[in-house]
Amino acid sequence: MAERFILASASPRRRELLAQVGAEFEIIPAKGEEVITSSQPKEVVLELSAQKAAEVAGHLQREEAVILGADTVVVYEGQILGKPRDEEEAERMLSMLCGNTHSVYTGVTVIRIQDGQTKRYSFYEETKVTMYPMDREQILSYIRTGEPMDKAGAYGIQGKGALFVEKINGDYNNVVGLPVAKVFQVLESNRI
């Protein structure tokens, strides 16, 4: 029996990235409360990805499976920018990011349950993103599209937000929400 490949996330972007590379997977989103004990972005995304993967792994009855948990944050000048609570917060975030360079961190945890053994491997990826300057009307017009409201840092590089991205240094897919090439390098290596 082939092992199940489970995405422990409801993110449509992660689902699209995995489908784009032909992965066969099922979705069992983690639903537990996220607990953060660090203020360091790389530690935060590693903690949250591990919590998601572990929660879903804990529900499996010793079935053979690979569980993938991931979490993405946007960081500007040491401040972690999650999803905006409202349009005012989205405007504040976008105003900070415009004309500047920020980092996008994605933490990934892969748990493999096989032959009664559980192995875990975690890593993070950082991508630098530089945005063009935007005036207030451009920001408000973008917010009115609704796109920023469910995205860390209040923009989607794979959508209309691409209009404001001047350049990136690193993995584009990491900014979307999953460094998919690195995930498959890990899965195909002997690390897990």
* Among 55, 152, 38, CA closest to 109: 55
Decide: 110 and 56 in contact? Cβ < 8 Å: no
Report the run of H or E that residue 157 belongs to, with start and end.
Answer: none
Strands 26-27 and 4-7: parallel
* Among 28, 77, 87, CA closest to 54: 28
pLDDT tens across 25-35, in order? 999 999 977 77
Decide: 89 and 119 in contact? Cβ < 8 Å: no
Its pTM surpasses 0.85: yes
The reported pLDDT for the residue numbered 63 is 82
Residue type for position 153: G
Decide: 182 and 191 in contact? Cβ < 8 Å: no
Residues known to be catalytic: 71
The segments of the chain whose pLDDT lies below 50 read 1
The reported pLDDT for the residue numbered 191 is 65
Count of CB atoms situated within 10 Å of the CB of 74: 24
Strand segments (E) across the chain: 4-7, 26-27, 65-76, 79-81, 101-114, 117-131, 165-169
The reported pLDDT for the residue numbered 190 is 63
Residue written as tokens 């905006």? Answer: 84
Q: What values do phi and psi take at 127, rounded to 5?
A: -125, 135
Q: End-to-end CA distance of the chain: give it in Å, rounded.
A: 19
- List Cβ neighbours of 28 (8 Å cut-off, separation of 6 or more): 6, 7, 8, 56, 59
The reported pLDDT for the residue numbered 1 is 36
